[in-house]
A and B are shown apart, each in its own frame.
Chain A
């Protein structure tokens, strides 16, 4: 199709805790690696989109330009929780499809350091009680009316699924973490590269049952970048660039429709299911066509739910799927061969672009020790609490032609 958008350059920095490098250092590194991968100069880029959460109001895109090339092109700053990087990619695609640009650069970046629990405020329990906020709370309700901590929210989402489906319990969730830590040992870009047994994962310090600390993603730093271009522009590129090009066959972003349960817990399932349905339809494929999936395993409990939400298993069958090895690197549909957020890491704004980088690298057969053999079609999924799901379906050039 004439409005197809292609990825011709992709890169990421190793994820980790850098200390000395700031947001612009990491963004520059990923951007320049991606430009080099595409064989382009920054002067050939016509639109820049940067995804970042913590400095969303601080013009990261323009500050990046000031370090790597102030060419006067339109630049945009995107924030969409943990779907920030994927939303930045989508925005660049829209610019290309609208005819505003032929060639775009997308960068996702985050510097978090060792942040500990995120998503909750410390208690404020010594002032005079006055109702405040939309619930008229007179003091912080964390720990008094449930929890707003991320491990606690995602633990409850996992237990909700376990309560509805036989054959799902703490052990099935723990197996997800065993798999992803094992996969990360083969990925030189991962924040952690250590293997753990099922017993070690389940005996690790408990954060929010059933999630132990080995079942929770770390905070960290990192950046990823992709260069995207129009089909028309791709036709003018050299044969090697065309051979290595990866087609974005679908870009689906959905928010969560209202349910009664929203008053108690965010719904991560509906947004992902809607995005998956839209993505499969747009790409003209089904889940059985996928050779590789990178999905949003911010907590081990979340990954299990998304097997079902993405249709990788029979409805209700996520427990059987992990028990039978379906998502293992040599299984029916390898999931998170990068190590996933659990072990590769989750620098918020970088994550969505890094998932796309991982799939692109396998489709190009350039993933080294962790390569999924003969990968033709892949899917990258992220989930931002609040709630938004983003899915990109990617196909290698020979497959898409």
Chain B
């Protein structure tokens, strides 16, 4: 079986239990997904890795029809407000791209993974996105 690596290092694959890992500032609680020199909120330098919720709600989105060559369109770019805090950018993996209301802010979603690509050694990069659970828009 070919090797599988996460597309980005804040995605933890953990056989069958994929989730996102944030760095939480020990001083103020601000959460980050990238390598840090210090906390952008308070300047603190201590961080603790924190597991993020796999569920959340769409905060905003766009249906992208124009992208650099080689990127399949349309796709749905979105920002997800994660349950229990944290905000992340990812694609919405299901829904109707011809009907923007499908993705309206407030819609509940859950993390899912997909194979994003394979390198010349056969290693598979695993990406993450969100699937719409049910209509939360009232």
- Determine if A209 and B7 form an interchain contact, defined as CB atoms under 8 angstroms apart: no
A323: shortest Cβ distance to chain B, in Å?
20
Q: Using A156-B62, A264-B88, A265-B89 as known contacts, say yes or no to A145 and B5 having CB atoms under 8 A apart.
A: no
A146 to B72, CA, bound (A): 12
Using C-beta atoms within 8 Å of the partner chain, give the interface range for chain A: 35 or more
Q: Which residue of B lies closest to A161 (CB)?
A: B60
Q: Which residues of B contact A162 (CB under 8 A)?
A: 105
A73 within 8 A of B: no
Instruction: Return 21 A-B CB contacts under 8 Å, by A number.
Output: A117-B67, A125-B70, A127-B119, A129-B5, A134-B34, A137-B8, A138-B5, A143-B64, A144-B91, A146-B79, A147-B67, A155-B62, A159-B61, A159-B105, A164-B105, A208-B62, A208-B63, A263-B86, A263-B88, A265-B60, A265-B87
A157 to B59, CA, bound (A): 10
- Determine if B70 and A260 form an interchain contact, defined as CB atoms under 8 angstroms apart: no
Q: Which residues of A contact B100 (CB under 8 A)?
A: 170, 209-210
A282 within 8 A of B: no
- Determine if A122 and B70 form an interchain contact, defined as CB atoms under 8 angstroms apart: yes
Q: Which residues of B contact A120 (CB under 8 A)?
A: 68
Q: Using A122-B68, A138-B7, A159-B61 as known contacts, say yes or no to A264 and B119 having CB atoms under 8 A apart.
A: no
B79: shortest Cβ distance to chain A, in Å?
4
Q: Using A159-B61, A160-B60, A264-B79 as known contacts, say yes or no to A139 and B68 having CB atoms under 8 A apart.
A: no
A136 to B6, CA, bound (A): 9
B117 within 8 A of A: yes
A126 within 8 A of B: yes
Q: Which residue of B lies closest to A134 (CB)?
A: B34
Within 8 A of A (CB), among B37-77: 40-41, 59-73, 75, 77
A72 within 8 A of B: no
- Determine if A123 and B89 form an interchain contact, defined as CB atoms under 8 angstroms apart: no
List A residues at the B interface (Cβ < 8 Å). 117, 120-123, 125-129, 131, 134-139, 141-147, 149, 151-152, 155-157, 159-160, 162-164, 170, 205-211, 258, 260-265
B90 within 8 A of A: yes
- Determine if A152 and B70 form an interchain contact, defined as CB atoms under 8 angstroms apart: no
A136 to B41, CA, bound (A): 22
B134 within 8 A of A: no
Q: Which residues of A contact B105 (CB under 8 A)?
A: 159-160, 162-164
Q: Using A129-B125, A159-B60 as known contacts, say yes or no to A152 and B77 having CB atoms under 8 A apart.
A: yes
Q: Using A152-B77, A260-B31 as known contacts, say yes or no to A145 and B119 having CB atoms under 8 A apart.
A: no
- Determine if A143 and B61 form an interchain contact, defined as CB atoms under 8 angstroms apart: no
Q: Using A143-B72, A261-B87 as known contacts, say yes or no to A135 and B33 having CB atoms under 8 A apart.
A: yes
A376 to B17, CA, bound (A): 63
